């Protein structure tokens, strides 16, 4: 082989060998795909117990619907039904005991995360009714006029 082919080939081989040596020392022995194949992908088996002790912050909409049946029922009939409660109300990690009531973000920016007019023709975002924040009641909270649990014209207060 010519030197212009051999030298780069040797460099690549040395780099691969170096990466394998570093990997042997750096990656824990318990890291890999374990007893259930690729169901959970790659993970470190030694810290499974640590994750079992981890406190889940987001509970999901089913957690909210038992105590807040009226709001859950009305919102499930609206376009907002696809939005988890905790996207607006925050994580329900210690609810209902602490805090007794979740903090509700009533800022205009929260609504504009979805309702700012963005023309993306290939995404579903173009189907969401946009609001021009410069022209539509600038500086006011959206929830002063609109009920987020009843969005649309029927949601006006």
The reply to whether 28 and 83 lie within a common domain is no
The reply to whether 49 and 113 lie within a common domain is no
Mean pLDDT throughout 49-65? Answer: 87
The reply to whether 46 and 69 lie within a common domain is no
The reply to whether 47 and 65 lie within a common domain is no
Pick 152 or 62 by higher pLDDT: 62
Residue 58 has pLDDT above 90, yes or no: no
Mean pLDDT throughout 3-8? Answer: 85
Q: Report the pLDDT value the prediction gives residue 78, as an integer from 0 to 100.
A: 85
Mean pLDDT throughout 139-156? Answer: 77
Residue 153 has pLDDT above 70, yes or no: no
Q: How confident is the model at residue 35 (pLDDT cuts 50, 70, 90)?
A: confident
Question: Which of 100, 46, 50, 74 lies closest to 154, judged by CA?
Answer: 74
Residue 37 has pLDDT above 70, yes or no: no
The reply to whether 44 and 70 lie within a common domain is no
Pure H helices in 3-96? 3-26, 48-53, 61-65, 69-75, 85-89
The reply to whether 69 and 31 lie within a common domain is no
Contacts of residue 56, defined as CB under 8 A and 6 or more positions apart, other chains included, come to 93
- 109-137, pLDDT tens digit by residue? 888 888 888 777 776 777 777 888 888 88
Q: Quote the CA–CA distance of 128 and 88 in Å, as a whole number.
A: 17
The reply to whether 91 and 149 lie within a common domain is yes
Q: Of 16, 31, 53, which closes a domain? A: 53
Q: Report the pLDDT value the prediction gives residue 26, as an integer from 0 to 100.
A: 92
With 0-12 / 13-18 / 19 or more C-beta atoms within 10 angstroms meaning exposed / middle / buried, residue 151 is buried
Arithmetic mean of pLDDT over the chain: 83
- Pairing of the two strands 31-32 and 43-44: antiparallel
Pick 101 or 75 by higher pLDDT: 75
User: What's the domain range around 107?
Assistant: 61-155
Please state, in angstroms and as integers, the Cα–Cα distance from residue 95 to each residue in 12, 60, 121, 144, following that order.
55, 12, 40, 25
Mean pLDDT throughout 9-20? Answer: 96
The reply to whether 128 and 87 lie within a common domain is yes
The reply to whether omega before 58 is within 30° of 0 (cis) is no
Contact criterion met (CB below 8 Å) for 145 and 71:
no
Pick 151 or 85 by higher pLDDT: 85
Q: Report the pLDDT value the prediction gives residue 22, as an integer from 0 to 100.
A: 95
The reply to whether 127 and 87 lie within a common domain is yes
CA dihedral 130, 119, 133, 61 (to 10 degrees): 50
Number of domains the chain is built from:
2
Per the listing, tokens 């987001």 go with 58
With 0-12 / 13-18 / 19 or more C-beta atoms within 10 angstroms meaning exposed / middle / buried, residue 85 is buried
The reply to whether 140 and 71 lie within a common domain is yes
The reply to whether 147 and 96 lie within a common domain is yes
The reply to whether 48 and 66 lie within a common domain is no
């Amino acid at each position: 082989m010519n030197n212009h082919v051999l030298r780069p080939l040797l460099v690549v081989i040395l780099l691969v060998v170096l990466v394998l040596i570093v990997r042997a020392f750096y990656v824990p022995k318990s890291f890999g795909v374990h007893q259930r194949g690729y169901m959970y992908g790659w993970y470190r088996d030694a810290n499974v117990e640590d994750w079992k002790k981890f406190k889940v912050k987001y509970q999901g909409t089913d957690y909210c619907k038992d105590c807040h049946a009226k709001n859950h029922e009305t919102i499930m009939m609206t376009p907002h039904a696809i939005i988890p409660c905790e996207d607006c109300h925050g994580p329900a990690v210690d609810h209902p005991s602490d805090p007794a009531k979740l903090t509700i973000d009533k800022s205009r920016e929260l609504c504009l995360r979805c309702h700012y007019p963005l023309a993306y023709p290939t995404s579903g975002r173009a189907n969401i009714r946009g609001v021009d924040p410069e022209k539509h009641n600038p500086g006011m909270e959206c929830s002063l006029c609109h009920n987020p649990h009843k969005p649309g014209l029927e949601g006006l207060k």
